[in-house]
Amino acid sequence: MAIATYTLVALDCPDPPALAEFYAGMLGGEVKQYDDDWYDLHVPGGHRISFQRVPDHRPPDWPRADENSQQLHLDFTVQDIEAAEPRLLALGATPLDLDDKGGTRGWRVYADPAGHPFCLCWD
C-alpha cells in the first residue's frame, strides 16, 4: 500500500514565468500563475511541474565541477532526438553533455534556462 501520492516537481529559479514557458514549449500544456513567485505547468497526461522564485538561485555546476552534483534532473523521451534538439536549443536549452552523437548511449544532457539539467532519451 502506498503511503503518498505523487503531486509535482518544483524547480527553484530566478524567473518562474520564463522557465514555465520554456517547459511549456517543450512539453505542451497550460501555465497557471498562482502568485508572483509560483507558477505551475499542467502538462498533457495530468502531471504538473511547478516553478518557484528564488532570487539568489544558484544552478548546479554539473558536469563542470566534480564536487557539485546534479542535485536533480528530469528525463524526457522523444521519438527523434535529432529533430528535437534544435527546437530545444531555440527555446533556450544549453547542451551539457553531447558525447553520444551516435545514439549508442540512449540520452543527451542539457540545461534549462535556469541551469537545471535534463535528459532527452530515445523512446
The structure's pTM equals 0.84
CATH number belonging to domain 58-123 = 3.10.180.10
Q: Which residues contact 17 (CB under 8 A, 6 or more apart)?
A: 31, 33, 39, 51
Q: What is the DSSP string of 36-90?
A: TTEEEEE-TTS-EEEEEE-TT-----TTT-TTS-----EEEEES-HHHHHHHHHH
The confidence score (pLDDT) of residue 44 equals 93
Instruction: Report the range of poorest mean pLDDT among 92-96, 99-103, 116-120.
Output: 99-103
Domains of the chain: which residue ranges?
1-55, 58-123
Percentage of the chain with pLDDT > 90? 57
**Which residue did the predictor score with more confidence, 109 or 90?**
90
What does the pLDDT look like over 15-71, one tens digit per residue?
A: 999 999 999 999 999 999 999 999 999 999 999 999 999 999 888 777 666 666 667
The confidence score (pLDDT) of residue 69 equals 67
Tell me whether the CATH fold assigned to 1-55 matches the one assigned to 58-123. Answer: yes
Domain 1-55 of CATH type 3.40.50.1820: no
What does the pLDDT look like over 57-88, one tens digit per residue?
A: 888 777 666 666 667 788 999 998 889 999 99
